Amino acid sequence: MQANSHNQAIPETVIAAVEAAIDAQLQALATYATPLTADDRRNLLKTGPKTFQFVELAHTLAQENPQLTSKAFDMAAFSADWNDTHNLLGVENKARQLLELIEDIRMTAGSDSAHHALEVYADFKSAADRNVAEAHAAYEQLKAAYPAKNQKRRKNEVGQT
């Protein structure tokens, strides 16, 4: 991908509207959420596509044949859980699409801004090499923050300890 492929700045009003919409949806769902620990997540039954089909079939058959389930079986709870599972799958897919879209835009804009920063870095280095008064201090600040140099420095520091 070439530099400057992010061709249009997103207006802050659009970003604010997206954040507000996401906040509203988080609030709408928060009361239904059960916070899970890492152990909770590990111990829950996994529900991939095959399990999803199994649960759907079991729900349908249990509704059609209530005489075959135990008297203690809570069909209303099963229906509530199944409906949320089924309905949230579509929401989850849309949220994943939104996240991928946001990541694509952020990555493209980030790459382009890094290209711009490298141009600034080169210009400041050139100005410092020509002894432009304020350029040396600015160049030194950028040089200290330059990621590639910092990565090499960190590797050297780790290797020395």
Report the Cα 159 to chain-centroid distance in Å.
Answer: 33
Residue pointed to by tokens 């020509």: 130
Which tens digits make up the pLDDT trace of 96-155? Answer: 999 999 999 999 999 999 999 999 999 999 999 999 989 999 999 999 998 876 555 556
For residue 160, give both structure tokens.
């020395």
Q: Is 19 helix (H, G, I), strand (E, B) or coil?
A: helix
Which tens digits make up the pLDDT trace of 52-82? Answer: 999 999 999 999 999 999 999 999 999 999 9
CA–CA gap between residue 55 and residue 137 (Å, rounded):
65
Which tens digits make up the pLDDT trace of 6-46? Answer: 888 999 999 999 999 999 999 999 999 999 999 999 999 99
What is the helix (H) or strand (E) element at residue 130, kind and residue range? none
